[in-house]
Amino acid sequence: MITLHHCPQTRSMRTLWLLHELEIPFRLVVHPFDKSLRRPEFLSLSPAGRVPALEIDGERMFETGAITEYLCERFSPEAMGRGANSLDRMAWLVWVHFAETVSQHAAALTQQHVVLYEDAMRSSIVMKLEAARLRKCYDAIEARLSTPLENRDYLLTSGFSAADVSVGQAVYMARHFAALDQYPETTKWYARITERPAFKASLPESGGGLYDKDFYPAWEG
C-alpha cells in the first residue's frame, strides 16, 4: 500500500495528480497546513516538516522530484516516465525538476500573501520580484511549447508525461500571482492538461486549500 501525506494546494498536489494518472491504489492522508507538520511523528516521515511525504513498501520518501522519478520508473517508465534509452529522457528530467523552480517562487508569494498574518510582515518589493520571476518561468515554458514550425501539445515531443504534471501543478499555484494572459501557447497547454480527470481529482474540495482568491495582485503597502 502507498500512503500519501498531503495538504491541499501545496506541492503534494503534484504527487496526488501523478498517482491518479498512474491509476494505482493508494491511501490519502490529508493534513492541515499548520504547525502540526512540525510534530515528531510527521517529522519522522519528512524531516523538514513539509509535504508530500510518501510511505511505500515500508520506506519513506519526500521531495516531489524524487517521488516523481521513483513512481514513474516503477509503475510507468514509458508512459508517464521516459526510460534511459528514450530520446526524450533528458528533456523529461529537465522539466520534471524545472517544476521546483516555478514552485519556489509561488511558495514565496504564498507566504507573502497568505501565510503572513500582519501587513507589517509583507513586502511589496518581494511580491513584485517573485511575480516577475514567475513570468520568467512562463517565458521558458512558452519557448518550449513554441517552435518555428509547429507548437507542441505537451512539454515533450513524445507526448504527455509526468513532466506536464509536475510543471502543470506548479503553474496551477503560480497563476494565483502571475497571469498567463501574455503566453498563448502556455495558456492552451495549461487548459489541455487541466481537463484531465486525474488533475480534477487532485483539486481540493470546495473551501479547502490555501487560497481564498483566484488571483492576488502585488500588495502596494
pLDDT in tens, 111-123: 999 999 888 899 9
Phi/psi of residue 29, each to 5°? -115, 115
pTM assigned to the model:
0.95
Read off the pLDDT of each residue in 205-219 and give the average, rounded to a whole number.
87
pLDDT at 206: 78
Phi/psi of residue 28, each to 5°? -110, 125
Q: Which residues contact 196 (CB under 8 A, 6 or more apart)?
A: 21
CA atoms within a 13 Å half-sphere pointing along the CA-CB vector of 105: 25
Note whether 5 and 42 are within 8 A (CB).
yes
Confidence class of residue 150 from pLDDT cuts 50, 70 and 90?
A: low
pLDDT in tens, 16-61: 999 999 999 999 999 999 999 999 999 999 999 999 999 999 999 9
pLDDT at 205: 85
Give ∠ CA 162-209-14 in degrees, rounded to 5: 10
